[in-house]
Structure 1
Amino acid sequence: MKLLRAGGFILLSLLIFVGAAQSATLTLADVGGGSLSPPVAQGNYLYVGTGTTLTTWNMTDPAHPVVADRTNRAPAPGPVRALAMVGGYLYAAWNSPSDTGGITIYSLADPAHPLAVAEIDNYVAGAMKRPVGLAAAGNYVYLGDADNGLVVLDASNPLAPVYAGMVSGVYEFDAMGVYGGKLLTTGSSFIGGRVVHVVDVSNPAAPVEVGNTALDGSIVLRAVLTDGYAIGVGNDLMVYDLHDPAHITKVFDAPIAVATHAIRAGNVLYLVGASGIQVWNFTTPSAPTLLRTVAMDAFAPDQAAATSFGPVILTHTDRGLVLGVSDPLNPVLAASFTLPFGVSVHAGDFDASHAYFAEEGYGLGAFNATTLASLGRYDAALPASLAARDMEDMSVDGGRAYLAAWGYGVLIASLADPANPTELGRFAFPFASAIEAHGNRVYVASTTNGGIFKILDVSNPASPQELGSLTTSQTFDLTVRGNYAFLVDGSAFGTGGLRVVDVSNPAAPLLVGQYSDCASAGGVDVSADGNTAYVACDDGSLRIVNTSNKANPVLLGSVTLPGSASLPNYNVAHAVVVVGTVAYVGNEEGVDEVDVSHPQAPVQTARHETGFFVSRLALAPDGRVFAFAQEAGTYVFAPITDRIFANGFD
């Protein structure tokens, strides 16, 4: 356990070794968005784990929620998975893919501005920890650790909780709740499906599992816990009576319009899904009845909770919804608010004064380039499926945004009014994964079921035309310099590595050279003259390739990036952007800086940890580097000095 300074604790664009601090060229400027934790409400405030940060909303006027604070200057070492109120403190459980985890304790002395005051990382012995769930009752905190089991902490001193007991056979903690002397937990099991556990915690120092039941994972998409009942929702509504834990009984089962979340408020049950809000009379849990469905855009709810200011729904499409339930049987939309940055940003690009993010679940988010305040969004008209709406990559050029939608193809949006981007056209190309636009040409490629590289004419954006195509292996990234496209491929459907393609005749793109010693590559950047390529490889290396002879790319030098403390020999490089003599490499651990001033001997000089792997990078016009770290959110790094980097790179 570590107590932290009154000013908070300084995390994380820390470097993995002390000597590197002197050579770092970037510093953390902002971080936001990412996966959502279950929300917690206290007084007039709503607290939500957003990636590695905690976001606080002031809900004094529930019709107009306002962001009060974000812990963007001190992110946790991994995505926040769960929250729990313990006296005047907020516990936040986090973990990272390298199986490290802990609890950050925030003081709510000023409830609008949570202040990190302690960090707990020694609640059980052993290096591997994966806390994913929290619940609290009285002086006890129940921590669900997917590696170690259920841990009970005595929090009589909230700043220094101590181990009190443990149940090692329970590992599912998507949701937890204490009702009387029973702790309920639920989540996905190791073998598929879902399971509900009932643990007797009447003696917290000696918790005992007293019952469990499996739920059909092909029908139930989520289980919601309430006093005495577990509610399964998905293609069916299922109700399980938990009053006798030794004999858990399913008391209701009926097909429903697909729902992926549920909120119980007394005798009313709200089911949330693409069809809207289903209102059920839950007076008799063994015989609930559907009263009505209220039309509402509640597609892809990630989290939901009953609060004192009404039911709150947080969606994967960056929307927060507050239901007005003065008449519980006739809920209305009382407020809609935007989740900062985005729940799942896959890529980004810029114009002179705006940042644009490719947002999984709907399309495009437009932001003020300086403040990153949300300005507008483009919701693509696509099927209500996250796979169909998976925006893998984007490119901004000439007042337009071009999106690579994995489930559809290319979407083109006008950015003439960033507050209201509108669709101009689309081109069907399933499994699109990488895209770059230059004038009236769009270069786009796919990965799934074998790669294809296509060149499109978008002079009439309402009707894009295919000019030519080329079979690849599985193209994860591409860039174009003059008459050449540089593609990096995986090896699942052919030879991976770097491909150099002549695009001077767009009707017949021609493979002219290949570098395949990097068996599978995820990212590429190329000098403006097209003579040097920087390739991010899945063996954790950055390869610098001389491409002055396009027919014969030759390795100049390489450096292998170390992994984590627990897996020092494992890393994957996913993305790279080069500024001057520094290559920024997105990898499993974060963003590494590599000195490439001597291409034959590149040297890693710094690491900026992000708590989750960085899949893509984007360079803003002002020199900031945006790292898209999946569940951890979007990290923004600013140059440490005001020096201007200029070497001809785009």
Structure 2
Amino acid sequence: MKWLRTVVSLWFGVSILAGAAGAQTLQRVDVGGGALSSPAVHGNFLYVGTGATVNVWDMSNPAQPAYVGRTGASPAPGPISSLAVVGDYLYAAWSSMGTSAGITIYSLADPAHPAGAGEYDDYVASEFFGPVGLVAAGSNLYLGDAQNGLFVLDTSNPTAPSVIGQTSDIYAFDAMAISGTQLLTSGSSFLGDRLVYAIDVSTPTAPSVEGSAVLSGGSVLRAVLTDGYAIGVGNDLLVYDTHDGANITQVYSTPIDQATGAIRLGNVLYLVGDSGIQVWDFTTPSAPSLIRTVTAPTFAPDQAAVTPFGPLVLTHTDRAVLLGTADPLQPTLAAQFTVPVGVAVHAAGFDGTHAYFAEEGYGLGVADGTTLAPIGRYDADLPPFLAARDMEDISVDGGHAYIAAWGYGVLIADLANPAAPAELGRFEFPFASAIEAHGDRVYVASTTNGGIFKVLDVANPAAPQELGSLLTSQTYDLTVRGNYAFLVDGADFGDGGLRIVDVSNPAAPTVVGQEQSCPYANGVYVSDDGNTAYVACGSDATFANALQVVDTSNKAQPLLLGSVTLPGLPPNLTDYNVAHSVVVVGSTAYVGNEFGLDEVDVGNPATPTWSVRHDTGYFVRKVERAPDGRIFAFTSIGGVFVYAPQDAIFADGFDG
């Protein structure tokens, strides 16, 4: 039975809620970036899921991987969690916030250019979905769904798989591996324990759980499954013998320098962490021994796997690291290449030729403004913790990038050479979350533990100076027009809603007006003349999720002109949605929300009218407009969705 979905899915185009009130003004032209899936290989080609797309590299020369392109014209309907290859077909498991899910099927007849060949979503009748893992064996595909259990799919008809076996006794599928007739799976329990299951698949039509184990130890962050052994890594290295699935036994345990990934290559075990590669002799699994640690650019590893081209590490900092193993005990850096767009982009700034991405894990990614091909990067010198490197927002002005780093403050980078942006200066301001630069002034605000708004003098970018500050509540977004800053706040630490701040005297920014009908406001866009504000409201006074239009011509008395509630997601989430961000072009507002990018007609401010939704498969955290008119919707793990006016022509499809 198909999962019920009242969104009309145009899979390779736009998703429009049934009953849309008006015509759309945008068309999707590209998708890229997002959370990393496990990799897959077909011949000389490497496939990696990022968000809703599959990226392809030609690995004919492993020392020089060549990026071929991504499935930007045919993304999956949600973020991809796992990939598997069976014959000449690539299967990508995806889910959209647990409300819909399935497997997107790509033909590899031309392995350099995966082509959409089908969508499989009727493996179970359920209201909730969580496909996490895929592993192939012969013509069978094993699908692990964290909500519904294990499913065995027959792919004899590659574009129309069928369920031939299943078990609902297991829900842990962060990792899956098959050896002979034993399938191993691993994941977290509801209590946070790391679990390992052994499943007998000698009869694929009747898979049965042989046994399970809870990995003990001070801190196990991930389990890696290999032939006959489950290896727990984190602050400890644990080894469990799984040969007898009914009696999974711990055979080794020791504290280690933290590692969040592992790769077993025969009798050698590589533990992957922020400090590099720990090389262990694994000849005797019950008594492995550390040989050495090899320096490698593996900070924040998200995925680690054995490939025919060598051990591969995919990091949260957009790096793919391929190891050379001519001497397995002394691995070398064989190649390093970039994941385009970025694993976790939070926002962007633009100039006439480049896009500058605020990348969660390291700093600034520079891309070609049209193709989004990576050009350069700026790695901020910050503590090696992701929280300290969380780049929340960015503003590009006068050849400089100003980045709000949540764990530190304001970072300033010179963009004169986009291939190698250089840091000019920094200003410490913990929990910085929103930023905008105008000439020698930078306006920056924080959200965590109560908001603060600051005005900085950056005439000397090497030594930014604070001019003045103002206590707020939780400032999630800000815009500056002339002598006024428009801030939107949540109400957990004070008054929420829209604040209008006079910044004509930067030493004493002063609130001159407030509009508080939306106590939990997340995003704001203000007309060039400063007389109209559009507020992305997470929850207004009636607890509705809305886009508000506010008359700000009288800064002391802003007046709510009109409001429209954004639709939820039928059938079960009709009353739930949260507006996060908004950009207005002409008479159309583009509103990023929990379920996509909505178009709202604001031609009549008193009666804004919802028009159409562009489905992104994950919530849109930020919306930005590029100088050429394209609209960028940032969904973090789901990737970056790029839209263009319908009468514009941009390169799309499978781009190189």
TM-score over 0.5 for the pair: yes
Distance 1:109 1:620 in 2: 36
| 1:647 aligned partner | none
Structure 2 CA distance for aligned equivalents of residues 84 and 98 of structure 1? 21
- The aligned counterpart of 2:66 is 66
Contact 1:455 1:506 in 2 (8 A): yes
Measure the CA separation in 2 of the matches of 1:631 and 1:35. 4
Find 1:631's aligned residue among 625, 634, 637: 637
Amino acid at match of 1:290: L
TM-score normalised per structure 1: 0.96
Alignment of 1:180-219 (within 5 A): 180-216=180-216, 219=219
Alpha-carbon displacement from aligned partner over 1:321-352 (angstroms, at most 9, x marks no partner): 11111111111101110101000000001112
Match for residue 559 of structure 2 among 544, 548, 554: 554
Amino acid at match of 2:383: P
What's the counterpart of residue 453 of structure 1? Answer: 453
Q: Give, in whole Å, the separation in 1 of the partners of 2:47 and 2:464.
A: 45
Distance 1:91 1:606 in 2: 30
Partner Cα distance (1:586, 1:35) in 2 = 19
CA distance in 1, matches of 2:32, 2:383: 28
CA pair 482-502 structure 1, distance change in 2 beyond 3 A: same
Q: Could you tell me how far 1:355 is from its partner in structure 2?
A: 0.8
- Name the SS for the 1:388 alignment partner: helix
Counterparts of 1:484-503 in structure 2 under 5 Å? 484-503=484-503
Partner Cα separation in structure 2 for residue 604 and residue 99 of structure 1: 23
Displacement of 1:18:
6.2
Amino acid at match of 1:633: G
The 1:280–1:21 alpha-carbon spacing in structure 2 relative to 1, beyond 3 Å, is farther
User: Could you say which residue in structure 1 is the equivalent of 2:255?
Assistant: 255
Which residue matches 2:542? Answer: none
Q: Is the 8 A contact 1:175 1:186 kept in 2?
A: yes
Give the SS at the match of 1:562. Answer: coil
Residue by residue, what CA displacement relative to the aligned partner does 1:615-643 show, whole Å, maximum 9, x if unpaired? Answer: 00111111111111111101111111259
Say whether 1:609 aligns with 2:615: yes
Unpaired runs of 5+ in structure 1? 3-8, 644-650
Shift of 1:384: 0.8
Q: Does 1:589 align with 2:600?
A: no
Residue 494 of structure 1 deviates from its aligned partner by 1.4
Counterpart contact for 1:13–1:607, Cα < 8 Å: no
Give the alignment's TM-score, normalised by structure 2: 0.95
The correspondence for 2:573, drawn from 552, 567, 570, is 567
Per the alignment, do residues 117 and 217 of structure 1 end up closer, same or farther by CA in structure 2, a change over 3 Å counting? Answer: farther
For 1:642 and 1:48, the matched residues in 2 are separated by 30
1:135-284 equivalences in 2 (<5 Å): 135-216=135-216, 219-284=219-284
- CA distance in 1: counterparts of 2:19 and 2:209, whole angstroms: 50
SS at match of 2:569: coil
Question: Retained in 2: the 8 A contact 1:15–1:21?
Answer: no
The residue type paired with residue 572 of structure 1 is V
Structure-1 residue corresponding to 2:605: 599
Structure-2 residue corresponding to 1:536: 536
Query: In the alignment, which of 634, 641, 645 is matched to residue 647 of structure 2?
Result: 641
C-alpha contact (below 8 Å) 1:12/1:610 kept by paired residues? no
> 1:177 is matched by which residue type in structure 2?
A
Partner of 1:512: 512
Aligned counterpart, 2:307: 307
Give the Å deviation of 1:22. Answer: 6.4
Q: Secondary structure at the match of 1:23?
A: coil
Deviation at 1:154, TM superposition (A): 2.2
CA RMSD of aligned residues (A): 1.6
Q: Is the 8 A contact 1:98 1:564 kept in 2?
A: no
Matched AA of 1:191: L
Distance 1:17 1:100, change over 3 A: closer
CA 1:498–1:29 in structure 2 vs 1: closer, same or farther (change >3 Å)? Answer: same
Map 1:310-329; keep pairs closer than 5 Å.
Answer: 310-329=310-329
Q: Give 3-state SS (helix, strand or coil) of 2:246's partner.
A: helix
Gap change, CA 1:22 and 1:534, over 3 Å in 2: closer
Moved more, 425-434 or 80-89: 80-89
Contact 1:13 1:610 in 2 (8 A): no
Contact 2:591 2:597 (C-alpha < 8 Å) held by counterparts? yes
Residue 86 of structure 2 aligns with which residue?
86
- 1:389 and 1:628 map into 2 onto residues whose CA distance is 18
The aligned length equals: 637
Q: Name the structure 2 match of 1:128.
A: 128
Distance in 1 (alpha carbons) for counterparts of 2:15 and 2:181: 45
Distance in 2 (alpha carbons) for counterparts of 1:444 and 1:458: 12
Q: Distance in 1 between matches of 2:178 and 2:567?
A: 42
C-alpha displacement of 1:169: 2.3
- Cα pair 1:375 1:418 within 8 Å, conserved: yes
- What amino acid sits opposite 1:179 in the alignment? S
Whole-angstrom CA distance in 1 between matches of 2:210 and 2:135: 18
Aligned AA for 1:545?
V
Task: After TM superposition, give the deviation of residue 15 of structure 1 in Å.
Answer: 3.8
SS of corresponding position for 2:105: strand
Which residue of the partner structure matches residue 652 of structure 2? none
Equivalent-residue separation in structure 2 for 1:344 and 1:530 (angstroms): 32
Q: Which runs of 5+ in 2 are unaligned?
A: 3-8, 540-544, 650-656
CA offset at residue 197 of structure 1? 1.0
Q: CA deviation at 1:105?
A: 1.3
In structure 1, C-alpha distance between the alignment counterparts of 2:555 and 2:452, rounded to whole Å: 20
Cα displacement string for residues 3-35 of structure 1 (whole angstroms, at most 9, x for unaligned residues): xxxxxx962542424675962111111110101
1:29-71 deviation line (CA, Å, top 9, x unaligned):
1110101110012211111111101111100000111122311
Q: Give the secondary structure class of the aligned counterpart of 1:538.
A: strand
Paired with 2:332 and 2:65, the residues of 1 have a C-alpha distance of: 16
Structure 2: how far apart are the matches of 1:351 and 1:69?
24
CA contact (8 A) 2:218 2:236 kept: no
What is the letter of the counterpart of residue 617 of structure 1? Answer: V
Q: Distance in 2 between matches of 1:572 and 1:154?
A: 40
Residues 434 and 478 of structure 2 are in contact (CA less than 8 Å); yes or no, is this contact kept in structure 1?
yes
Moved more, 590-599 or 126-135: 126-135
Residue 287 (str. 1) matches residue 292 (str. 2) = no
Q: Structure 1 residue 596: deviation in Å?
A: 0.3
Q: Which amino acid aligns with 2:574?
A: P
Mean CA deviation greater in 471-480 or 156-165: 156-165
**Identical-pair percentage:** 66
- 548-557 or 591-600, larger mean C-alpha shift: 548-557
**CA–CA distance in 2 between the matches of 1:55 and 1:591?**
24
